[in-house]
């Protein structure tokens, strides 16, 4: 219908040349609807169309309209020279990334300090210390707390809703963090993943998650994250069972995991099950990607994207969705998403011949490894100030926590993946709530979301969830 409306819109023209439908615009307001339809009794009179306007050079459309085809626009050929590294890329990217990641962790001062602190203080105490640091930064700029700030902003903008606390809407997304194990150890990772982390979801928890899905008709998406989810043992079970229920599955993929030994058929598995890939690629240059995500990550990411394209991922006609995620290298907000999407598409196509569907920009959350990174560089105060200065009231409605339940590898329930890392679990009267306490997520609508000072990362600029 919209197509027909377009063709008959004043100021638009369309014609059929041969079998190709061409559509464009002209100035003025000539259109099909301005053609006079002559009544039958004018037959034989001098008022036929040809007589009104005998100059109709394109009035020769074939009546075999079933043969008419609408052609998709084709991509222009690359304008820039292709990357010379493409030549032997598949050879260069053979083998596991893990030895390189472990070597980097051993030589990286930040990782060594974190490991020492973790040993001395334990995870819970470190998390409390991190929270205090964020709060000290907010105290300096006179920001009381996240919820009070939100309510003040609403008042300032003339919004008078009665909701004083952030509450959930209907739960549509079931996010499963199925393990912390990862073949990379990125310096901004909010999960503190690495090849040294062995925590993974058990089959018992995974099976219970599937049971919950069966009883929760409001859920349309299972968002599988990690670590590197594909390297966790329950990944294929969860993905396959969710697809059998006709639920969309997202795989939060780091790209390099698909090239690990033993994962040779994972990309094909993703394609066969029509799994939506959301992949991290913080730049289209080797230097920036390797700086943030580790040596060797760029080459493997490019090889993996080429492999996914060869299976049809990222091509509009296949329905195999491949989205990319950009997050800034340091303590600044991401650029405009739409403009960066265009820039990524141009660079990746011109230089590497890579296609993808959509780019998402995300703000770095001031939690865990990135919070440490900022604190050691004395940048945490400025970063919290930046987040508060760029508070965007419009992000609140779309926050991940509004329509998501997030499950950790050990089955504990949270409002989002960030809360998982900060031990802010959804609780019941007797304590922590796990997947074994619920049969469905349907009655979690309207429950109050646990927010804290890290949440300013989700509401700055265009948001982060
Ligand atoms: S950011 Fe992703 S790829 Fe990097 S270490 Fe963390 S989980 Fe792994
Ligand atoms: S971190 Fe973001 S998604 Fe999580 S509870 Fe806070 S605002 Fe919501």
- For residues 278 and 201, membership in a common domain is answered with yes
- For residues 12 and 145, membership in a common domain is answered with no
**Measured in angstroms, how far is the CA atom of residue 229 from the centroid of ligand 1?**
10
What local confidence, expressed as pLDDT, does residue 48 receive? Answer: 52
Flag residues of the chain having pLDDT under 70. Answer: 1-54, 71-74, 80, 464-465
Q: Is residue 5 part of a domain?
A: yes
- For residues 31 and 129, membership in a common domain is answered with no
**Measured in angstroms, how far is the CA atom of residue 449 from the centroid of ligand 2?**
8
- For residues 31 and 107, membership in a common domain is answered with no
In this structure, which ligand is nearest to the CA of 417?
2
The residue from 68, 90, 115 where one domain ends is 68
Q: Is residue 51 part of a domain?
A: no
Q: Is residue 164 part of a domain?
A: yes
The residue from 48, 68, 88 where one domain ends is 68
- For residues 115 and 27, membership in a common domain is answered with no
What local confidence, expressed as pLDDT, does residue 7 receive? Answer: 34
What local confidence, expressed as pLDDT, does residue 6 receive? Answer: 34
CA-nearest residue, atom 7 of ligand 2: 455
- For residues 324 and 408, membership in a common domain is answered with yes
CB of 399 closer than 6 A to ligand 2?
yes
CA-nearest residue, atom 6 of ligand 1: 189
- For residues 359 and 453, membership in a common domain is answered with yes
Q: Is residue 369 part of a domain?
A: yes
What local confidence, expressed as pLDDT, does residue 73 receive? Answer: 64
**Measured in angstroms, how far is the CA atom of residue 461 from the centroid of ligand 2?**
14
What local confidence, expressed as pLDDT, does residue 428 receive? Answer: 82
- For residues 149 and 32, membership in a common domain is answered with no
- For residues 189 and 325, membership in a common domain is answered with yes
Q: Is residue 225 part of a domain?
A: yes
Residue 378's domain comprises: 98-459
Integer-rounded Cα Rg, in Å, for the chain is 27
Q: Is residue 213 part of a domain?
A: yes
CATH of the domain at 341: 3.20.20
Cβ within 8 Å of residue 290, ≥6 positions away = 296, 297, 298
Cβ within 8 Å of residue 246, ≥6 positions away = none
Say how many domains are in the chain: 2
- What is the CB < 6 Å shell around ligand 1? 182, 184-186, 189, 191, 193, 226-228, 254, 293
In this structure, which ligand is nearest to the CA of 416?
2
- For residues 24 and 106, membership in a common domain is answered with no
- For residues 271 and 166, membership in a common domain is answered with yes
**Measured in angstroms, how far is the CA atom of residue 50 from the centroid of ligand 1?**
69
CA-nearest residue, atom 4 of ligand 2: 416
What local confidence, expressed as pLDDT, does residue 262 receive? Answer: 97
Q: Is residue 73 part of a domain?
A: no
What local confidence, expressed as pLDDT, does residue 53 receive? Answer: 59
Please give the number of the atom of ligand 2 that sits closest to the Cα of 465: 3
Q: Is residue 75 part of a domain?
A: no
| 402/416 Cα distance (integer angstroms) | 9
- For residues 4 and 146, membership in a common domain is answered with no
CA-nearest residue, atom 7 of ligand 1: 227
What local confidence, expressed as pLDDT, does residue 462 receive? Answer: 80
């Amino acid at each position: 219908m919209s197509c027909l409306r377009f063709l008959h819109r004043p100021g638009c023209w369309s014609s059929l040349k041969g079998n190709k439908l061409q559509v464009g615009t002209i100035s003025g307001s000539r259109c099909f609807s301005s053609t006079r339809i002559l009544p039958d009794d004018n037959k034989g009179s001098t008022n036929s169309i040809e007589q009104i306007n005998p100059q109709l050079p394109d009035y020769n459309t074939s009546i075999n309209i079933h043969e008419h085809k609408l052609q998709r626009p084709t991509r222009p050929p690359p304008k820039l020279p292709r990357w010379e590294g493409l030549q032997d890329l598949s050879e260069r990217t053979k083998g596991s990334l893990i030895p390189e990641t472990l070597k980097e962790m051993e030589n990286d001062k930040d990782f060594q300090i974190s490991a020492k602190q973790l040993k001395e203080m334990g995870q819970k105490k470190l998390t409390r210390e991190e929270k205090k640091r964020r709060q000290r930064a907010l105290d300096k700029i006179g920001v009381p707390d996240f919820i009070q700030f939100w309510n003040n902003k609403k008042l300032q903008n003339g919004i008078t809703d009665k909701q004083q606390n952030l509450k959930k809407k209907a739960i549509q997304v079931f996010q499963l963090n199925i393990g912390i194990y990862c073949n990379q150890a990125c310096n901004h990772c909010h999960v503190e993943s690495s090849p040294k982390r062995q925590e993974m979801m058990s089959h018992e928890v995974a099976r219970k998650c599937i049971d919950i899905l069966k009883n929760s008709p409001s859920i349309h998406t299972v968002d599988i994250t990690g670590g590197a989810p594909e390297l966790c043992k329950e990944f294929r079970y969860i993905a396959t069972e969710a697809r059998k229920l006709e639920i969309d599955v997202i795989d939060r993929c780091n790209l390099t995991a698909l090239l690990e030994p033993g994962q040779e058929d994972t990309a094909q598995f993703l394609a066969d099950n029509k799994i939506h890939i959301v992949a991290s690629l913080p730049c289209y240059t080797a230097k920036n990607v390797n700086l943030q995500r580790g040596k060797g990550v760029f080459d493997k990411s490019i090889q993996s994207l080429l492999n996914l394209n060869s299976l049809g991922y990222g091509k509009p006609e296949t329905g195999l969705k491949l989205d990319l995620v950009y997050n800034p290298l340091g303590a600044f907000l991401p650029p405009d998403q739409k403009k960066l999407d265009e820039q990524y598409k141009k660079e990746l196509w011109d230089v590497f011949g890579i296609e993808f569907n959509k780019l998402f920009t995300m703000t770095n959350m001031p939690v865990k490894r990135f919070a440490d990174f900022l604190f050691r560089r004395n940048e945490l105060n400025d970063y919290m100030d930046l987040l508060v200065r760029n508070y965007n009231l419009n992000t609140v409605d779309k926050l991940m926590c509004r329509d998501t339940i997030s499950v950790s590898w050990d089955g504990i329930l949270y409002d989002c993946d960030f809360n998982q890392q900060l031990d802010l679990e959804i609780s019941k009267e007797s304590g922590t709530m796990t997947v074994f306490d619920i049969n469905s997520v349907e009655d979690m609508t309207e429950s109050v979301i646990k927010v804290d000072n890290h949440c300013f990362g989700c509401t700055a600029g265009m948001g982060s969830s």
